[in-house]
């Protein structure tokens, strides 16, 4: 990935060529930086687990039966994991194990996973092509997603969940991918946050956000996000 050697420019006799060479060298070096940033983002997404082992473990552990062999679930109530941040998936599994997040099936499914299982399975799903939905007809929540509502002290979803809800990692907090997630699952989580049944977000931030939303807005947000 080294830069082209500047020394080769003495092969060109004319200043014009030297200029062109420098331009090309600059373009090549910025492309290298972009590629490195892409690689960083990818390793941040996948984390320290082994995706190859995670593929076997998620098959043996029956995770793929519900969450899909490629991380795309075939049931609206079951979340996709494709391209979801490993750090987020591991945190949720930790939370199920500790009883900080409750679900009849997932509490049992997470019970016996070791630290290595969690990291490897999360790495496998995170390494799959990032989830994407079919654009829907209901985009009425787009404004709320992009701008929030200062009158209600409601921050914009995009400020945490990133462009098109594709998630990000900042200051050691992992903001999950929401864009392309299952519609019914998204709505159910917003309702759970609002009722306080799910209360595992840092500082209770998602409970605060969801409490400010009406039922119709939760439906519209789920419709919009599922199509991204």
* Contact set for ligand HEC, span 111-140 (CB under 6 A): 113, 121
**CA–CA separation, 199 and 192 (whole Å):** 8
CB neighbour list of residue 214: distance below 8 Å, 6 or more residues apart: none
Q: Considering the rule CB under 6 A, would residue 103 count as an interface residue with ligand HEC?
A: yes
Q: Considering the rule CB under 6 A, would residue 188 count as an interface residue with ligand HEC?
A: yes
Listed residue (92, 132, 93) closest to 114, CA to CA: 93
Between 81 and 100, how does the x/- string for binding to ligand HEC read (CB under 6 A)?
--------x-xxx-------
Identity of the residue, 3 or 62, whose beta carbon is nearer to ligand HEC in the bound complex:
62
Between 26 and 65, how does the x/- string for binding to ligand HEC read (CB under 6 A)?
-----------------------------------xxx-x
Q: Considering the rule CB under 6 A, would residue 200 count as an interface residue with ligand HEC?
A: yes
Q: Which residue pairs from 71-78 have beta carbons closer than 8 angstroms and sit at least 24 positions apart in sequence?
A: 71/125, 71/128, 71/131, 72/128, 72/131, 73/182, 75/182, 76/182, 76/183, 76/184, 76/185, 77/182, 77/184, 77/185, 77/188, 78/182, 78/185
Number of residues forming the site for ligand HEC (CB under 6 A):
39
Identity of the residue, 36 or 153, whose beta carbon is nearer to ligand HEC in the bound complex:
153
- Residue 23 CB, shortest distance to ligand HEC, in Å, is 42
Which parts of this chain interact with ligand HEC (CB under 6 A)? 61-63, 65-67, 77-79, 89, 91-93, 103, 105-106, 109, 113, 121, 155, 157, 159-161, 173, 175-176, 178, 186, 188-190, 200-202, 205-206, 209, 221
């Amino acid at each position: 990935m080294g830069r082209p050697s500047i020394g080769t420019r003495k092969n060109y006799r004319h200043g014009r060529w030297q200029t062109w060479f420098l331009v090309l060298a600059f373009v090549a070096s910025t492309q290298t930086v972009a590629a490195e940033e892409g690689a960083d983002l990818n390793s941040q997404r996948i984390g320290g687990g082994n995706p190859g082992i995670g593929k076997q473990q998620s098959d043996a552990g029956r995770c793929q039966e519900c969450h899909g062999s490629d991380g795309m679930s075939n049931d609206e109530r079951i979340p996709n994991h494709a391209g979801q941040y490993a750090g987020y998936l591991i945190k949720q599994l930790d939370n199920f194990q500790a009883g900080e997040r409750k679900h009849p099936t997932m509490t049992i499914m997470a019970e016996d996973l070791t630290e290595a299982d969690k990291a490897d399975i999360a790495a496998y799903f995170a390494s799959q092509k990032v989830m994407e939905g079919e654009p829907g007809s209901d985009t009425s929540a787009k404004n709320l997603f992009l701008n929030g509502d200062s009158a209600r002290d409601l921050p914009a979803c995009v400020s945490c969940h990133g462009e098109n809800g594709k998630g990000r990692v900042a200051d050691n907090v992992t903001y999950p991918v929401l864009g392309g997630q299952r519609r019914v699952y998204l709505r159910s989580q917003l309702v759970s946050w609002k009722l306080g049944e799910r209360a595992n977000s840092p500082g209770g931030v998602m409970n605060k956000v969801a409490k400010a939303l009406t039922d119709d807005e939760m439906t519209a947000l789920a419709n919009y996000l599922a199509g991204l």
